Chains A and B, each alone.
Chain A
Amino acid sequence: MSNRTLPRILQTPAVILLLIWMLVPLSMTLYFSFIRYVLNSSRRPEWMSPSLSNWRGFGNYQYVMEAKDFWFAIQNSVFIVSSILLITVVLGLGIAVLVNKSFPGRGIVRVLLISPFFVMPAVNAVLWINMILDPVLGLQGIAVSSINDTIDGLRDFPVLGAFFNLWPTFEPISFRATQTSAYAVIMMVAWQWTPFAVLIFMTSLQSEDESQKEAATLDGASPWSQFINLTVPHLARPIAIVVMIQSIFHLSLYAEIEIVSRGSGNKNLPYLIGEFTNNNIGAASATGIFAVILANIIAIFLLRMVGKSLMD
């Protein structure tokens, strides 16, 4: 066997498996997106099984683009993903620098810090929306009502009371409806993925060239300018990796959105597809193709960013 064929054989199973995994369902989605196909219809029972005679052309695409949640879902997908990315990268950088110095108990600090990354999304959502953010029974509700009680008590004091009388009664925020549920999702996912960013940044901070930093200190460079001019460029590649891996995961967020508000006021494309899938498979498939296009636009951009130095 020559030098060339063996490597090809070794990577064949992986390539073929992924090729099937990608092509078979995707071509079915493409096919369904061009036909009328619904799961339940007493009026038009012939639409209930996939067939070329139900050809609809771009009708499903047009239907989806005119559906009221479609553009909102695209906007919201991008909003959720970019907010999470911004928060996790900024927080992750800060925390990684913070725990990169040695201090007593650093091992325990690290263990505590990375723990959220191991929590499964369903538990994450259940925990945050019920036990922490619930406006009445969660910690948020309890905290707000105890602040209100304290202020109420202070209103009766002479002199000081006049000051506290100016304070409003605080209202807890309900995260189960409208735009606020997107904030709840961003909060819980950022909590879970910041540790991932910390992990990656920490590893590459450890490989930073200390002698460069010492030279900079001797030259009188401030810690801040060292951070901006030496550390941040060193972290450019890890940042690209964190952005890419997180985009992959967050573009398909589902469990959190489902558990927080069942999509009310807060849908992303996968959730919209899920809603269509309950009955209108044609529309669901057309939305799916839109989601694939969106993912590809983002993928081309991200892969280029990461791929540049992959083979050096």
Chain B
Amino acid sequence: MSTVSQSSKLGNVLWPALAWIVALVFFFPIFWLVFTSFKTDADAVKPEFLFSFTPTLENYTNMTQNYDYWRFATNSVITSSFATLFALVVGVPAAYAMAFNPSRHTKDILMWMLSTKMLPAAAVLYPMTFLTKNLLSIYDTHFLVILVLCLINLPIVVWMLFTYFKEIPREIIEAGKMDGVSTWGEIKDILIPLAWGGIASTALLTFIFCWNEAYWTVRLTTIDAATLSTLIEGNRAPEGLFFGRLAAVSTAAVAPIVILGWFCQKQLVAGLTFGAVK
């Protein structure tokens, strides 16, 4: 008996210690990015200033003039928000129909939707450039970026919402029907309040995916609608020059989404199941 309690006592110390070490290792690269952003470009590459240096804010104060940060950030906010909103507007009714009035094709439709997500973007890059540039003249517009972000995330949105909606007892929705509530009323007054947590985490994840999207946003924009991904990809440091200012603009590019993620962490932990929990 005594060995058992001893080993569990040891476990009580070792277990959290191990968890903390793993967490700090995983967080370290982010810490290092932020840390480097407070060094001047010259200090950032000198080993003797690895930890002892005079912190400076100049990388941040010069960011607007070095990188035109705000323009790209504004584009990221606009395109990610509207794309998330539109994906939900299209996705909620679709997932509602699939979850509460499934037909024998529902599963196939859902699987087909997911399979469109498997379509490699690069395979259709040139046709998309051709269409948007030469035929529709919507290349490098907010409209195009919003549309594409909405479409590439729609399958995941519908799938996530479907798995949440399926958890809601059908009787509650049926009861609404008995009372003569319209379909719109069912969605607005019964479904959305009940599935609020699921909708919120779907929106959050979609927003994250939109903000971080780097393929289409970089390749379908040049200046007017370019987002933060374009800014970073276009300014990656050539062989270690400008580490300081690069770290600062990178920090500024990820900070909004990382902080949002921190605040909504509980929501994500509870909500991100993709129907994995039975």
Interface residues, chain A, CB within 8 Å of chain B?
3-4, 6-8, 10-11, 13-15, 17-18, 21-22, 24-26, 28-29, 32, 95, 98-99, 101, 103-106, 108-123, 125-128, 130-132, 134, 136-139, 142, 145-146, 191, 194-195, 199-200, 202-204, 207, 237-238, 241, 245, 247-248, 251-252, 254-255, 258-259, 269-271, 273-274, 277, 281, 284-285, 287-289, 291-292, 295-296, 298-299, 303, 307, 309-312
Contact = CB atoms under 8 A, between A and B. Distances in A.
Given A26-B123, A254-B214, A299-B118, A18 B16 contact: no
Leading 3 A-B pairs by shortest Cβ distance: A288-B123, A270-B122, A25-B124
Interface in B185-217: 208, 211-212, 214-215
B269 interface: yes
B172 interface: no
B274 A291 contact: no
A230 to B, nearest CB: 15
Interface in B1-47: 12, 15-16, 18-20, 22-24, 26-27, 29-30, 32-33, 36, 45, 47
Given A14-B91, A118-B261, A191-B26, A98 B19 contact: yes
Chain B interface SS verdict (over half): helix
23 contacts: A6-B183, A7-B101, A10-B96, A14-B90, A14-B154, A17-B151, A18-B113, A32-B127, A99-B19, A109-B23, A118-B260, A120-B253, A132-B29, A137-B239, A191-B29, A241-B276, A248-B117, A254-B121, A259-B236, A273-B122, A284-B126, A285-B126, A303-B111
B226 interface: no
Given A3-B101, A130-B236, A111 B47 contact: no
Interface in B159-173: none
A26 B128 CA distance: 9
Interface residues of B, number: 95
B79 interface: no
Interface string B240-278: 100100110010011001101110010011101111111
A288 B124 contact: yes
Interface of B: 12, 15-16, 18-20, 22-24, 26-27, 29-30, 32-33, 36, 45, 47, 50, 90-91, 93-94, 96-98, 100-103, 106-107, 109-111, 113-128, 130-131, 151, 154-156, 158, 183, 208, 211-212, 214-215, 218, 228-229, 232-233, 236-237, 239-240, 243, 246-247, 250, 253-254, 257-258, 260-262, 265, 268-270, 272-278
